[in-house]
Structure 1
Amino acid sequence: MKNHNNNNLQIAAREYIIYFLVFILLIVLRRPEAIFHPEFWAEDGVFWYQQAYKIGFSSIFMPENGYLQSISRLVALISQPFPLSFAPAIFAISALTVQVAPIAILLSKRFEDIIKNKYARIIICLIYVVVPNSFEPNINLTNAQWHLSLVLFLLIVSDSYKHSIIEYTTIIVSALSGPFSILMSPIIIFEAYNKYKLMSINKYIIALACTFIQSYFLIVSMVKTRSTENLGASIKSFATIFVNNIFIGGTFGRLGKPFILSIDNHVYVFFVFLFVLIVVAFILGSKVYKEFLFFSAAIIGTALVSPMVSLTQPQWPLMETMGAGDRYYVIPIIAMNIGFLVLAFNKNLIIKIIGIFMLLIFFLSAPFNFLYNDSPYKNIGFYREAMLFYKSNPGTTMKFNEAPSGWNFYLIKK
């Protein structure tokens, strides 16, 4: 009997490793140059690396866009002992590690009791990996906070009966990377209340403490760092953003762009259809799915109230375009497609057919949206510039270009 159990554990471990490696491979294949020819992206050089290089450890306490971004700061500090030419690779590997972390948690034993169907968890991981309209957060340290928000959510809603320094550290870094712990605070409180008699609630206390820290920085610095440009809000713009970027962008991806042009006069119909499907999925879904949908709604709601799409133009009209600020839509898109999975597993035949149909659209469109061929990541020759900097004399000031076009930063050789 003991040998039989050991064999089952070995098989389960082997399956876990195989699935995990396949998902890592898929993530890398969507934009292989991110790993094989890494470059700094936007804030990577301008804020994280430059400030770590100039200021050192104290840079970790500097908020950006109204909140602490600890993961980006930490990786920038870790990269300092290495030559500058190594930094983009360190950033990329760190971003990839963060991106695969939700998969590691979902496939682990701690989620077996929450989502009992193993294949449902695999489908959710596949949705996460091939999600369209999502180039910004893919293997990108600046946007790694979005993946860490999923890590935080999964750790909060899953049961943990053993104290773990690794888990606590992960919660702290995740909660102090972006404003997501603030949006998640009702879920943290709800989970703590339901579990305080059954298990230690240390992780919830730690998460809430980090939430208070982020809230402080948000209150103190938000006005100074967020865009003050007019939103350009309207009811039609609201519906169009949801339809174009979440419903069509999250199912058809780039295949839906021609379709968007033809539905302008019927956008409310598609919005209502999406709304009804999500409400039904919310009613039928598990407690954890309801919590995830709440978190997703908080993300898109906050993004609409205080977006960072433009510093010079009204923002909602820009957000109507598929792909504009796609980081805001990735988690709502994942939540929507998991909702379709909830419908597909329902016993009611009509609901099941609708769920399967929507998932088929998503997965049949996935191959056409797999590669980020139209993303603005380009080889800008950073390695050559870094080598020149390495050979330069102390006191030399050099300018470094990075993607996307127009972003650059300066370093003074120490």
Structure 2
Amino acid sequence: MVTSYVSTRGSETASLREAVLQGMSPRGGLYVPTQIPTFDWPPPEGSVAEWLAPSLFPSLEPDVARRIAQDACDFPFPLVQIDDSSFILELFHGPTHAFKDVGARFMADLVSLFATGSGNEITVLVATSGDTGGAVANAFFGRRGTRVVAVFPLRGVSETQRRQMTTLGDNVEAVAVEGTFDDCQRMVKECFSDPSLSARHGLTSANSINVARLLPQAVYYLEAARRFREPVHFVVPSGNLGNLCAGLIASKGGMPHAGFTAAFNRNHGVADLLQGSSFETRDSIRTLSNAMDVGNPSNLERIQWLYKSDDALRVDVRGDWVSDEDTVRAIASVHRREGYVMDPHTAVAFAVAQRLDAGVTPVVILSTAHPAKFPEVVEDAICESVSMPETILSARQKNELMSVIPPDLGKLKELLDGGRQ
């Protein structure tokens, strides 16, 4: 069965290859499957990723889909119990210690598959508020025929996040923007809206706007859900909403659930929407949970397309937000009581989860990054040092290479045309 993809902004359709390599539709919409992938519940014993991949991408040969899934998800997703009803799903055991590794590695294999024999270089242009850039850079590093350009806010990522992009070299270029993530995302989207530029460089996106990045993230929701006898309530740290969108697609495909809560920091426009207000684009605000500092999340468009109305969305998804002070208190209190260390994004979700009704159980909180990626925040909260994985220590010893530009589309286009500045 060949599944096509349709734009959220009209009737434009694309094959999987076209959707992956284009990233966005020509009119700026996001691609969604014309039919939501469905599956029988529960999954069999064994790898959920290998079982699910042929359903997520039915236009691939099943053996090819399973092989890509095996390569992309070759690390565990531990479930850690925090109290009687709360569990933390650790998604940071991949090579860059962030949940983005799942989708980035799957996408890299798909792009390589589709690019084989084309003779044309593909430029993966990605805007990142933190972990996406490092995960994408790692996944594509050294792959022939691909060039990665990671665009990030100069003062909006942690040192570790920055170094995971700036210390690789080879086919990976890091571009620091003297602005916000919303500036970065706007510039990248405008590049994709330029047909000449897109054709000249073979542009594709590795943000969660790309279906190859988004859909594989359904894997860990199913992996968590099958470990419980009763439906799970998921609490999701939320910024650009790709993580939440993947969970909602999993639920519409057949995964039983007891609802979702989207957890936000002070960039809480979507939380306000979920609580009954209308959504308004806002300038992003810098917080301790920087990967969630998004004022205009791309995947809201996809989620609203899936649900057709905001009232229908509010049936499945709650929204709430917490301050930086709440975030630090959550890190400190969980460490003091349980000896467990959370990163700031997980702490946002944990603090929001504490406000859920007592009858909501079990609750699974998605932990999106290793706490060692944010040592300044975490160590101040717990008053002790954080254990550093070897890969993070190694990145801190290497020289950095990056271009620094103002939030100007023309400067980014010049860089794409001329290489590193």
Report if TM-score (shorter chain) is over 0.5: no
Taking structure 1 as the reference length, what is the TM-score of the superposition? 0.29
Higher helix residue share: 1
1 or 2 for the larger relative contact order (CA 8 Å, sep ≥6)? 1
Which of structures 1 and 2 has the bigger CA Rg?
A: 1
Higher strand residue share: 2
Taking structure 2 as the reference length, what is the TM-score of the superposition? 0.29
